[in-house]
Structure 1
Amino acid sequence: MMSKKIAVVVTDLVEDIEFTSPKDAYVEAGHTVETISYKKGSIEGKQGASFDIDKTIDDVKASDYDALLIPGGFSPDLLRADEEGRFGQFTKQFVEAGKPVFAICHGPQLLIDTDLLEGKKLTSFISVRKDLENAGANVVDESVVVDSNIVTSRTPDDLEDFNRESLALL
């Protein structure tokens, strides 16, 4: 198996386990994970853990990576608030290139900003589903959904399925 380089877009109030569980699974499988946010330094998770940031969104391009992870919590909503839309554009480049994108819980919110959800089968945390439908997605209530290169899940309870399907796509 070839080692892949995975980008994680994340900021404060990320759901800790939705970041650490997939990251640990990817690293254990031999992949490299880099965290990307507004600024270097560290961020604070929803449960209070501190996470180091490797690069800023201005330092990276999608072509540097093989896959993208979007953990949930309040982080995706805060990333969408970027006035220049850089995180949405970054995500869009992965979808357009057919690269794997893994989004759990509130993570699919960032997918809305790609304007590429028409006809895609997705799932998410319940409060995000209507927004995904409005963006043209076919939304279902399942622990994990794989639509071509996009893997989505609903909650931390789905992490086992989410990690399994994400690793299978890598």
Structure 2
Amino acid sequence: MAKVATLITDLFEDIEFTSPKEALQEAGHTIVTIDKEGNKAVRGKQGEVRVEIDYGIDDVNPDDFDALFIPGGFSPDLLRDDDRVVAFAKKFMSDMKPVFAICHGPQLLITARSLEGRDITGYKSIRVDLENAGANFHDEEVFVCQKQLVSSRTPKDLPAFNREIVNLLKEKEL
């Protein structure tokens, strides 16, 4: 089963973390939460969810994980100002490991300069940013690029997003 690194900080979109987390755990995968610093808790922007952070970014190595999950909300924008977090995300893209990004999650991949020529979807307000990063934007509930990058637009797309992230890990037998 896969060990999934989850880059998350305050103001993540509550359901965009909890729903995929539950789907991945039900499929037998392990979720590990990572922020700039460890030993703390973060809160969702709806105020419904509190998440204990397992590790700070300095305490983890991308090579120790099978996949990366980036929930949306304001969290990806707050994380992408840290070069350590950006480098962590970029390594998954460079190594062609599974990456799951929903809503504003792709903002971290934009900063990592990892989307040139890739197919992706995301929240409509970041469409121009994705296109400027060289990505091909698709206004679809879920898009799977090169059997590696799974993206979705909004919470209403969660059933399709969850299905595809679980299917991709099953295909890769992680």
TM-score (ref. length: structure 1): 0.96
The one of 26, 31, 43 aligned to 1:28: 26
Residue-by-residue CA offset, 1:29-79 (whole Å, 9 max, x unaligned)? 101000000122100111112110000011011101000000000000000
**Contact 2:36–2:85 (8 Å) recurs in 1:** no
Query: Percent of counterpart pairs with the same letter?
Result: 58
Which segments of 5 or more consecutive residues in structure 2 lack a partner in the other structure? Answer: 170-174
**Contact 2:6–2:32 (8 Å) recurs in 1:** yes
Which segment is superposed worse, 41-50 or 68-77?
A: 41-50
Distance in 1, Cα, partners of 2:106 & 2:142: 12
The one of 143, 146, 153 aligned to 1:145: 143
Structure 2 residue matching 1:141: 3-state secondary structure:
coil
Where do residues 59-78 of structure 1 align in structure 2 (5 Å cutoff)?
A: 59-78=59-78
TM-score (ref. length: structure 2): 0.94
Post-superposition, which runs of at least 4 consecutive aligned residues in structure 1 deviate over 6 A? none
Which segments of 5 or more consecutive residues in structure 1 lack a partner in the other structure? Answer: none
Distance in 1, Cα, partners of 2:137 & 2:90: 19
Structure 2 residue matching 1:91: 3-state secondary structure:
helix
Structure 2 residue matching 1:27: 3-state secondary structure:
helix
Quote the offset at 1:8 in angstroms: 0.3
Distance in 1, Cα, partners of 2:81 & 2:112: 14
**Contact 1:89–1:113 (8 Å) recurs in 2:** no
The one of 125, 134, 142 aligned to 1:136: 134
Superposition CA RMSD, Å: 0.7
Which amino acid is 1:81 matched to? D
Quote the offset at 1:114 in angstroms: 2.0
